[in-house]
Amino acid sequence: MLTLEALQSQIHSIEDLQAVVRTMKALAMVSLRQYERARLSLADYQATVELGLQGVLHHQRFAEDATGAPPLDRPSTGAGQVGLVIIGSDHGLCGSFNEQIVAHALDYLHRHQLAPHQCRLAAVGARVVPYLDAAHHHVDQAFSLPSSLAGIPVLLQDLWQRLEQWRFPDPNASPSSLAPRAIDRILLCSHQSLSSTTFQPRILQLLPLDPVWLQALAQRPWPSVGLPLVPAPWAGSLDIGLRQYLLVALHRATVESLASENAARLGAMQAAEKNIEERLADLNADYRQQRQNAITGELLDIVGGFEALNQAKA
């Protein structure tokens, strides 16, 4: 049985922890709100980019020089080399957020029978690296997540540079080392926001682009009576449009992952706050009971001493 001083010390410590949890909860709510606004804006922007691609592809169907595949839509080489970008978090207190995304990525690799030597991994967020190391998957490069929306363009620039190195490796490799092989496919594994509080992991194939999707986009009815005008040559416009689409896909995946991270942290803080409140209620009940017992004991001692004095006088 704890003493009153020990119970009071525990109550003060848990109240301090409660203040920290409430602060973390408020920060998660503020961050979640800004990332949700950015997510909705990027969804609209991606729709605009797709509309531009649709215009270029619509023009391609009627162009005299419409031959060959789109610049970024080369077919798979069959080499089996896969580049996988996994977006997690740099900070904790977000439940099983990182475990879920790593488990989803490893499950995809297992289902497609991709051995570790066939994969090149890029980890966005330091928290996913230990889980990948534990699964014996070497991380090619780790990136830090920005703390705000303003830092995302710098991350995207670094990521795009890594994807370019994967897709087009340096042919002047050192003879003493193994020459890097070109990546056959580039995948993106991240959490996708379903709503402001729910999310799920997903795998998105960045390259090569899905030809079925491109064909469906080209055959989609144009939403106005005026046909789109594409500056010549159309192939250059298509190349720019496809690259813009990939950058927007990376940007949107990063923002949705950050929104999901803060939603997970908000849920974890809400659960922690509930547990703290229950623990405080138990400790306060124990403290009141102990204090009542101490008061009762002191009263009994006083009554007992008074009766002993009266008996001595008699």
Rounded to 5°, angle at Cα 193 from 218 and 208: 40
pLDDT band for position 58 (cuts 50, 70, 90): confident
pLDDT above 60 for 91: yes
The first and second tokens of residue 271, run together, are 């659960």
pLDDT band for position 262 (cuts 50, 70, 90): very high
> What was the pLDDT predicted at 300?
83
In a domain, 10, yes or no: no
Q: Give residue for tokens 């002047």.
A: 172
In a domain, 59, yes or no: yes
Q: Which of 18-22, 69-73, 183-187, 221-225 has the lowest mean pLDDT?
A: 69-73
CA dist., res. 97 & res. 281, Å (int): 30
pTM: 0.84
In a domain, 78, yes or no: yes
Mean pLDDT of the chain: 86
Structural domain count of the chain: 1
In a domain, 142, yes or no: yes
In a domain, 308, yes or no: no
Per the CB < 8 A criterion, the answer to whether 261 and 94 are in contact is yes
Q: Which residue has the higher pLDDT, 179 or 295?
A: 295
Looking at residues 232-236, what average pLDDT do you find?
70
In a domain, 87, yes or no: yes
- Which domain does 101 fall in, by range? 25-269
In a domain, 278, yes or no: no
Strand order, beta sheet including 185-193: 139-143, 119-124, 82-87, 185-193, 199-207
> What was the pLDDT predicted at 176?
43
Q: In this predicted model, what pLDDT tens digit does every residue of 10-34 receive, in sequence order?
A: 999 999 999 999 999 999 999 999 9
> What was the pLDDT predicted at 240?
86
Per the CB < 8 A criterion, the answer to whether 81 and 183 are in contact is yes
Looking at residues 175-184, what average pLDDT do you find?
60
The 10 Å CB-count burial string (b at 16+, else e) for 43-53 is: eeebeebbebb
Q: In this predicted model, what pLDDT tens digit does every residue of 296-308 receive, in sequence order?
A: 888 888 888 878 8
List Cβ neighbours of 45 (8 Å cut-off, separation of 6 or more).
248
Count of other CB atoms within 10 angstroms of residue 66: 12
The 10 Å CB-count burial string (b at 16+, else e) for 256-276 is: bbbbbbbbbbbbbbeebbeeb
Q: What percent of the chain has pLDDT over 70?
A: 89
List Cβ neighbours of 206 (8 Å cut-off, separation of 6 or more).
85, 163, 186, 187, 188, 246, 249, 250
Q: In this predicted model, what pLDDT tens digit does every residue of 112-160 receive, in sequence order?
A: 999 998 999 999 999 999 999 999 999 999 999 998 899 999 999 999 9
CATH code: domain of residue 240: 3.40.1380.10
Tell me the one-letter amino acid at 311: Q
pLDDT above 50 for 205: yes
In a domain, 8, yes or no: no
Q: Give residue for tokens 């990546």.
A: 183
Q: In this predicted model, what pLDDT tens digit does every residue of 277-298 receive, in sequence order?
A: 999 999 999 989 888 888 888 8
pLDDT band for position 109 (cuts 50, 70, 90): very high
pLDDT band for position 171 (cuts 50, 70, 90): low
> What was the pLDDT predicted at 312?
75
Q: Which of 28-32, 46-50, 211-215, 282-286 has the lowest mean pLDDT?
A: 211-215
